Chain A
Amino acid sequence: MSTEVAHGLPRRRFSIKSVVADGVFFGFLFIVAFLTIFPLSDEQTLDLARNLLIGLVSFLAGAMLSFGLFQAGWTTLGYMIFRRASDVAPGETAKAWFKTFWGFQLFLTLGVFCVVGFQVTEFSFYELLSTDGFEGAKRIFGALSNPEPSVFAPGFLAIIETIFIAFIATMLAIPVAFVISFFCAKNIMGGSPLGLFVYGTLRIFFNIVRSCEPLIWAIIFSVWVGIGPFSGMLALMIHSVASLAKQYSEQIECISEGPVEGIQSTGAGFLQTIWFAVVPQVVLPFVSYTIYRWDINVRMATIIGLVGGGGIGTMLMMYQGQALWNEVGALVVIIAVVVWLMDSASAQIREALK
């Protein structure tokens, strides 16, 4: 599907992606206009079918508008985003970008998006600056900056638990991710249709696993194995396997082929080729990613603790529930110090391994 606008002019090629994008941009504007004119009643808010229909009609109208504008030679935002490098926007290239149609569309869409956003988040300077609100903030910050010393000892034990949850999750994830990463690397698996199938399936599977936040895995596992450090560890492990497998396999995909050919030409077997030609090229980046993952896991383990995954997060949740702000303050200090220490240590190690 390609369209020649006029003889001698640069090519403008139609693309589905740009029409879909414009469908969303224009459709959004249509929905906002429609709802401003006809606000939803409480009943209508719950009518899923009707609301979906409004959305779909708006999207289709937007997509048709985009196609029409494309045919008429206008350059829409969607076209601008998804045009190929060889496509030019005729007539628009000479203009200042803010005088173009797509520039206008960008500002209008962003502007309306911001207005709707302020509405939805109930943004209010009044609440932020009211004397009542100020008093509350002063009370909390006061308590936080005056931590309760008796909490330091148990808090310290709790964060050790958190660090170990993160450590074991990372350790258990390493061998699994290591083995899987070779099956997720296109240059290793691309040789045969079966290989490509395994590669594709694993990619999709791990993309789904990774798009589930550890917090959600923690909720699943706390139902499965009960609330506590074990469920938190399992949640982090699953997420770590998926993340490490992706990072490891990307590293495997950019190794140089030379050593592989060199080792293969000696008559080495498959495992030997992996070990002697691939592993030496990826081992340092692997170590670096793994240390970083542990670092990330310590932070995530704190958050997961909030939903009962054990460690210092659980303790934090307990004190917060009882509004014991001085105790919360002590825990915040511990977390800040440990996260900062882990972060700089891992950065130093990763820098040294380069």
Chain B
Amino acid sequence: MTATTGNGNILQIRNLEKTFPNGVKALKGVSFDVKKGEFLVVIGLSGSGKSTMLRCLNRLHDPTGGSVLFHDDDIVKMKGGEVRTLKKRIGMIFQHFNLVDRHSVLSNVLTGALSRTGSMTSILGLWPEADKKRALEYLKLVGIADKAYIRADQLSGGQKQRVAIARSLMQNPEILLADEPVASLDPATCHSVMEYLKKVNRELGITLICNLHFLSLVRQYADRVVALRGGELVYDGSPSAIDGAWFTKIYGEGAREVHVN
């Protein structure tokens, strides 16, 4: 592994800004560090900029200011081929899973290996045997090896999210971004997916940055929490330290905590 950015931080985010072409300032100078191997949760009201921030970290969006150090390289300054390499090293899963519905579960997982496979090789479907074996292993890891050959649209929401986790593991990522991974799942399934994310974090040592809605989940899974409000960082600390006063500061007056069991 490459040396980390000093003192155990895998990411150093400084004054990160994102203004969309339509003028919306989604991030107004956000700064914090992400420690290697931690399970970091990002909370905030809907529209506070959580998704935008995650997408700036793997350059699905191009930030408009600030810097993000990742192993001494500035993510914000990367261009062309560097951006592709970055995306390869940072996996991502989404609220709506973003699988290719018509393809089998196995080929969905294999697409995680696209960045290291030639265009023609992958388009013709000539995946290396080693990759196929690994894909099956990751499916076993998330507990759905038996579904490898059925179409992805036949799965339930929770199963789809586990396929998405397996797909991102195929990339060998150092960091896994999760944008509200359980927001479209029912409470029971929701915990199963969170458990798999925890497993990926603890057993494979992959740093996790996860956007979440429910504070109860945050207390259960997060090592550390940062909160966004209106594109600004308003909290950075331990999940247990979020008391009533902080809650009001993050979510605004009149908000009430709801629990997911």
Binding site for B on A (CB under 8 A): 258-259, 261-269, 271-272, 275-277, 280-281, 283
Binding site for A on B (CB under 8 A): 58, 60, 84-89, 91-92, 94, 96-103, 111-115, 119, 122-123, 164, 167-168, 170-171
**How many whole Å from A5's CB to the nearest CB in chain B?**
33
How many angstroms between the C-alpha atoms of A281 and B153 in the bound complex?
12
Given contacts A261-B60, A265-B91, A266-B88, contact A277 B114 (CB under 8 A): no
Contact B115 A268 (CB under 8 A): yes
Contact B171 A262 (CB under 8 A): no
Contact A264 B87 (CB under 8 A): yes
Given contacts A264-B60, A265-B60, contact A259 B99 (CB under 8 A): yes
Given contacts A272-B122, A272-B123, A280-B103, contact A266 B98 (CB under 8 A): no
Contact of B88 among A259, A267, A275, A281 (CB under 8 A): A267
Which B residues touch A269, using CB under 8 A?
84, 114-115, 119
Contact B100 A266 (CB under 8 A): no
How many angstroms between the C-alpha atoms of A262 and B111 in the bound complex?
9
Which A residues touch B170, using CB under 8 A?
266
Contact of B111 among A258, A271, A276 (CB under 8 A): A276
Which B residues touch A283, using CB under 8 A?
102
Contact B100 A280 (CB under 8 A): yes
Contacts A259-B101, A280-B103 known; 12 new A-B pairs at CB < 8 A: A261-B60, A261-B98, A262-B99, A262-B111, A266-B114, A266-B168, A267-B87, A267-B88, A269-B114, A275-B122, A276-B100, A280-B101
Which B residues touch A280, using CB under 8 A?
100-103
How many angstroms between the C-alpha atoms of A342 and B173 in the bound complex?
53
Given contacts A261-B94, A275-B123, contact A267 B115 (CB under 8 A): yes
Contact A268 B98 (CB under 8 A): no
Contact A266 B60 (CB under 8 A): no
Contact B164 A271 (CB under 8 A): no
Contact B164 A262 (CB under 8 A): yes
Contact B58 A276 (CB under 8 A): no
Contact B84 A267 (CB under 8 A): yes
Between B88, B111, B164, the greatest number of chain A beta carbons within 10 A of the residue's beta carbon is seen for B111
Complex A-B, nearest 5 residue pairs according to Cβ-Cβ distance, in ascending order: A262-B98, A267-B115, A267-B88, A267-B87, A268-B114
User: 26 A-B contacts, Cβ less than 8 Å apart?
Assistant: A258-B98, A259-B98, A259-B99, A259-B101, A261-B98, A262-B92, A262-B97, A263-B111, A265-B58, A265-B92, A266-B112, A266-B114, A266-B167, A266-B171, A267-B84, A267-B89, A267-B115, A268-B115, A269-B114, A269-B119, A272-B114, A272-B123, A275-B122, A275-B123, A277-B100, A280-B102
By beta carbon, the residue of chain B nearest A277 is B100
Contact B87 A265 (CB under 8 A): yes
**How many whole Å from B148's CB to the nearest CB in chain A?**
17
Which A residues touch B88, using CB under 8 A?
266-267
By beta carbon, the residue of chain B nearest A261 is B98
By beta carbon, the residue of chain A nearest B116 is A267
Contact B103 A266 (CB under 8 A): no
Which B residues touch A262, using CB under 8 A?
92, 94, 97-100, 111, 164, 167
By beta carbon, the residue of chain B nearest A257 is B98
How many angstroms between the C-alpha atoms of A262 and B122 in the bound complex?
16
How many angstroms between the C-alpha atoms of A234 and B114 in the bound complex?
40
Which A residues touch B58, using CB under 8 A?
265
Contact A271 B91 (CB under 8 A): no
Contact B100 A263 (CB under 8 A): yes
Contact A267 B114 (CB under 8 A): yes
Which B residues touch A261, using CB under 8 A?
60, 94, 98
Which B residues touch A266, using CB under 8 A?
87-88, 91, 111-115, 167-168, 170-171
How many angstroms between the C-alpha atoms of A150 and B140 in the bound complex?
70
Between B86, B89, B98, B171, the greatest number of chain A beta carbons within 10 A of the residue's beta carbon is seen for B98
By beta carbon, the residue of chain A nearest B92 is A265
**How many whole Å from A257's CB to the nearest CB in chain B?**
9
Contact of B94 among A258, A271, A275 (CB under 8 A): A258
How many angstroms between the C-alpha atoms of A114 and B58 in the bound complex?
65
Contact B102 A276 (CB under 8 A): no
